[in-house]
Chain A
Amino acid sequence: MTTENLLILAAVIFTIGAVGVMLRRNALVAFMSVELMLNAANLAMVAFALARGGLDGQVASFFVMVVAAAEVVVGLSIIMTIFRTRRSTSVDAASLLKL
């Protein structure tokens, strides 16, 4: 398990997340893709921390987790509300916020 391998894995996971956000219409799936991207970032930070022998990256990843948890709370409740009113979780359908 070299740092390089870890970073490649992180990049792959991040790319999967990013492509997922861009391609999937289902809001829940898009949300999960966002989580993938966050975790890919966490993985990269932990990998760097490991390589450098410091704790900075690991501490930062804890912060990212906390933020992600909070984000999930807010994001899921928004998706719930949208689903209740529109009977759909398609992000394409929820396109009213425009000029």
Chain B
Amino acid sequence: MTLLETIVPVAATGMFSWAWLMIAIPALAAALLLLGGKALDKVGPTLAVGAVWASFAIGLALFVSLLGSPVEARAVSVPLYEWISTGQWTITAGLLVDTLSILFVLLITGVGGLIHVYSLGYMAHDERKRRFFAFLNLFVAAMLVLVLADNYLVLFVGWEGVGLASYLLIGFWQHKPSAAAAAKKAFVMNRVGDLGMTMAVMAMLALFGSSAFTAVNHGIGQADQFWATLIGLLLLLGACGKSAQVPLQAWLLDAMEGPTPVSALIHAATMVTAGVYLVVRSHAIFELSSAASTAVVVVGTVTLLAGAWIGTSKDDIKKVLAGSTMSQIGYMMLAAGIGPAGYAFAIFHLLTHGFFKANMFLGAGSVMHGMEDDVNMRHYGALRKLMPWTFLTFAMGYLAIIGFPLTSGFFSKDHIIEAAFEHSTLVGSLALLGAGITAFYMTRLMLMTFFGEKRWLDGVHPHESPRVMTVPLVILAVLSIVAGAVMNGWIQGWLEPATGAHPHEVSWLPTPIGWATMAVVAAGVLVGWLVFGRKPIPTTAPATVNPLTIAGRNDLFGDAVNNTLVVQPTMMLADGAVGVDQRVIDAGADGLATMFTNLSNRGRRLQSGQVRRYALGLVAGVLLVGVLMILSQLA
């Protein structure tokens, strides 16, 4: 396999040397909001929203500037300062503004900005609103560090930063034990992935003496293939943790305990896609190791089916969307693992998914807002008349995710399925199957939420959300529809400087596989309607013996697997260690001490206080010494 040529970054000039402001502004706003105290309760949220849009403005200016540059200047490195300098290594903290990272910047700050605005309405009555916005801004800053970093170590700083923000925001309603536990779970499972990341970075430093993307991409070509496989697999482990891919998927469903804007921003649109970004960014490594890239394909395929499976059987609207997120990220992983043909499609799908999934999560939040924070879809029904804006925007997201012709998901997902078929028929068929299941569970969600008859709980009066929430929905809905058509055919060429050139025809007319996909999707929708559209839906989940449904309702027993394979053995190991500590080490030390105590108790009887007895002891001692001396003389 030949290494694709990516361009060498040029030094920053002019506007690009101010790129760090994109990170600094939200970071500063977060610090202000956290340290500012109650004085900022009123103005704080607005400040946070402004900070994100300021970053977006800078990002947009840089994007336009990159658009105007010649192709070979479409990667700009912005060195900031020398971060770590030891005898062997000098690590400079620097930013890399290229065609890949700028798309992420626009996604993070654009979608993030819309979600900030939405949160103004969604969190209006929360008394810890200022803290919420501070955490959101912290997240945006960390995520920008992640995508703008020019080396793996700085990327890792952002990687951990988004992990922290995710932890803080999942557990934002920490008075709920379930939220606190979910935050902890997310944090711990992410640590497992981070282990892979840290080991990969250490291997890079040991092999190449640098963790910069350019140095690693250059060095890996000369290194042994073993190292490419090892680093690739370690990076994949990190990506699995952050992107909730099998086998580290279990935290994402619980992460839905966080406020809904958080689910939309962090656990759908941006943070969970960081794994895909990592794989695409490290494409030079994965291209050199077929083992590592095959592992990526396998992980992606398994996850896209597992997520879709979970999505079909959940009643919690947010968990259906979370399963769907897993599944869609599985598609991206699959595309990224396919190789040069897939990178642009992975990023393409990532962007369109960012739009339509954020749209649907915010729509779900809007529904929950009107339904007294009830998340059970069996208590919904017939909401389309009462929440027209939410319904319409959600419907556009729905069309986009199932891949209705000419919506954004249609373009991005079809490309992935086609590339998968080119890669292998098996993977392609599974991806096609996933598309059908996606259509099925999204149809189920739509029918249960917006159609049928009302199954509301007593005292619930559904109402449309305020405009501050619906306007972001409308913008995202429009993007969900048009983004695909706008970027189709353009994004591949645009990403070439970052991911390498690869000729691939993008046709506007559906190929045979495209027709097949449409047929499968139509079948999925039809089955969904046959099962859930024709008869009333029970308000409690019906008991079932269908093993598929039972497995889906239990998150495919992900927690049980983790418990048996990891938690129980770890607990047993810990219990064993405690036992050894108490029964062997402590007992040994205690026994020694007891022995000396007993000995001293005997010995202290010699100390009687009787002077005459001491005198006797002295004389006896002297006599003994004398006798011994005499004996030794005689001998």
Interface residues of A (CB under 8 A from B): 18, 21-23, 25, 30, 91-92, 94-99
A21 in contact with B612 (CB, 8 Å): yes
CB distance from A74 to the nearest CB of B (A): 15
CB distance from B83 to the nearest CB of A (A): 64
A23 in contact with B609 (CB, 8 Å): no
28 A–B contacts, CB within 8 A, in A order: A18-B619, A21-B612, A22-B612, A22-B615, A22-B616, A22-B619, A23-B612, A25-B612, A30-B611, A30-B612, A91-B610, A91-B611, A91-B612, A92-B610, A92-B611, A92-B612, A94-B609, A94-B611, A95-B608, A95-B609, A95-B610, A95-B611, A96-B609, A97-B609, A98-B607, A98-B608, A98-B609, A99-B607
- Classify the secondary structure of B's interface with A: helix
The interface residues of chain A lying within 8 Å CB-to-CB of B125 are none
Q: Which 4 A-B pairs have the closest CB atoms?
A: A95-B609, A98-B609, A99-B604, A91-B611
B615 in contact with A21 (CB, 8 Å): yes
Write the B615-628 contact mask toward A (1 if CB under 8 angstroms, else 0).
11001000000000
Q: How far is the CA of A96 from the CA of B609 in the complex (A)?
A: 6
Number of B interface residues in the complex (CB < 8 A) = 10
The tally of CB-CB contacts under 8 A between chains A and B is 31
Given contacts A25-B612, A96-B609, 11 further A-B contacts (CB under 8 A): A18-B615, A18-B619, A21-B612, A21-B615, A22-B615, A30-B612, A91-B610, A92-B612, A97-B609, A98-B607, A98-B608
Q: B620: nearest residue on chain A (CB-CB)?
A: A22
Q: B603: nearest residue on chain A (CB-CB)?
A: A99
Q: How far is the CA of A25 from the CA of B608 in the complex (A)?
A: 15
Write the B594-608 contact mask toward A (1 if CB under 8 angstroms, else 0).
000000000010011
Q: How far is the CA of A22 from the CA of B620 in the complex (A)?
A: 11
The interface residues of chain A lying within 8 Å CB-to-CB of B610 are 91-92, 95
The interface residues of chain A lying within 8 Å CB-to-CB of B615 are 18, 21-22
Q: How far is the CA of A22 from the CA of B618 in the complex (A)?
A: 10
Q: How far is the CA of A92 from the CA of B613 in the complex (A)?
A: 10
Q: How far is the CA of A96 from the CA of B616 in the complex (A)?
A: 19
Q: How far is the CA of A30 from the CA of B604 in the complex (A)?
A: 25
Q: How far is the CA of A23 from the CA of B619 in the complex (A)?
A: 12
CB distance from A28 to the nearest CB of B (A): 13
Q: How far is the CA of A91 from the CA of B610 in the complex (A)?
A: 7
The interface residues of chain A lying within 8 Å CB-to-CB of B604 are 99
The interface residues of chain A lying within 8 Å CB-to-CB of B619 are 18, 22
Q: How far is the CA of A94 from the CA of B610 in the complex (A)?
A: 8
The interface residues of chain A lying within 8 Å CB-to-CB of B608 are 95, 98
Q: How far is the CA of A61 from the CA of B167 in the complex (A)?
A: 87
CB distance from B625 to the nearest CB of A (A): 14
The interface residues of chain B lying within 8 Å CB-to-CB of A22 are 612, 615-616, 619
Q: A97: nearest residue on chain B (CB-CB)?
A: B609
Q: A99: nearest residue on chain B (CB-CB)?
A: B604
